[in-house]
Amino acid sequence: MKQLIAILILLMLSIPMGVNALPPRYAVPQGQALILSSLNETEPMGQYGKDAVWYLTRAGYNVTYLNDGQVTVDLLLNQIKNYNIVIWRTDSFTWKHVTYWWVGEKVNDGVQDEYSSDFAQGWLNANTGIVGASSEFFTNHLAPKSLSGISLLMFLSSDGDAVAPAFITAGISSVIYCNGSISLEFGLIDDLTVQMIAYLTQGESVYSAVYNTVSPYNQGQQPKDPLDTTYAPPFWYTGDGSVMIASSIRATVAHSISFR
């Protein structure tokens, strides 16, 4: 009798019932996201990087994370076009009145030979030991619409407003950038970046994500002391502010399932 009861229980458990029945699993296409941390050795992204990956993965993206020497000139020119979302965390420096952004790749014979004319013209810089790229370098190498597959670039660096237009011309739909000088120390920029990613992956548009990140600090904030000033995070965007990275993934998934 006990064996019969056990068999009946197993049979009942094996039959899905009501809301407990799981939907079928489908192999749906994923969006591709790329995180580049060019100065990670000296300014590590740490837990913030893991948080960014978590939010993007949860939203349906397959995330690739590269840092320091893994971020090469060749990757920036020839491979980022294969991604839908790119987050590039670096910083700028000035050499002979020209602004450069650290790529991450250390200066080596290979890159100097391949891009010798760019170094000669000052579009690339080798003086710090890490390759630096100027806005002219991107303007001259990225053809119009060559990056049209990228919905969003988050360019986290000082003087981002000086190079953001080059990425828009290259076809990126929307670029979130930093104005003026920033610091990657202490985690403030990373913390605010993850906050924006959270907004974006929960269905906010680029405009809303940026505004909601910035506004708590500079909209109606009252300093505790009259001599204090409010802090306004140095973020803004150019391009299409209506871009929604979460909805595009949901639409792709829904389209895939509807044809099965």
SS (H, E, C) 89-145: ECCEEEECCEEEEEEEEECCHHHHHHCHHHHHHCCEECCCCEEEEEHHHHHHHCCCC
Q: Is residue 17, in this structure, part of any structural domain at all?
A: no
Q: What's the pLDDT at 11?
A: 44
Q: What's the pLDDT at 214?
A: 87
Q: Which residue has the tokens 């079928």?
A: 24
> Count of domains in the chain?
1
Question: What residue type is 81 in one-letter code?
Answer: K
Domain that holds residue 67: 30-90+135-219+230-258
Q: How is residue 235 written in tokens?
A: 């973020």
Q: What's the pLDDT at 194?
A: 95
Q: Is residue 3, in this structure, part of any structural domain at all?
A: no
CA 175 to CA 156: how far, in whole Å? 10
Q: What's the pLDDT at 29?
A: 53
Q: Is residue 180, in this structure, part of any structural domain at all?
A: yes
Q: What's the pLDDT at 10?
A: 45
Q: Is residue 149, in this structure, part of any structural domain at all?
A: yes
Q: What's the pLDDT at 186?
A: 85
Q: Is residue 82, in this structure, part of any structural domain at all?
A: yes
Q: Is residue 9, in this structure, part of any structural domain at all?
A: no
Q: Is residue 44, in this structure, part of any structural domain at all?
A: yes
Question: What residue type is 219 in one-letter code?
Answer: Q
Q: Which residues in the chain show pLDDT less than 50?
A: 2, 4-5, 7-28, 218-220, 222-223, 250-260
Q: Which residue has the tokens 């910083």?
A: 91
CA 224 to CA 238: how far, in whole Å? 33
CA 100 to CA 136: how far, in whole Å? 10
Q: What is the DSSP letter of 232?
A: -
What pTM does this model have?
A: 0.81
Q: Is residue 241, in this structure, part of any structural domain at all?
A: yes
Q: What's the pLDDT at 187?
A: 87
Q: Residue 64 in contact with residue 88, Cβ under 8 Å?
A: no
Q: What's the pLDDT at 200?
A: 97
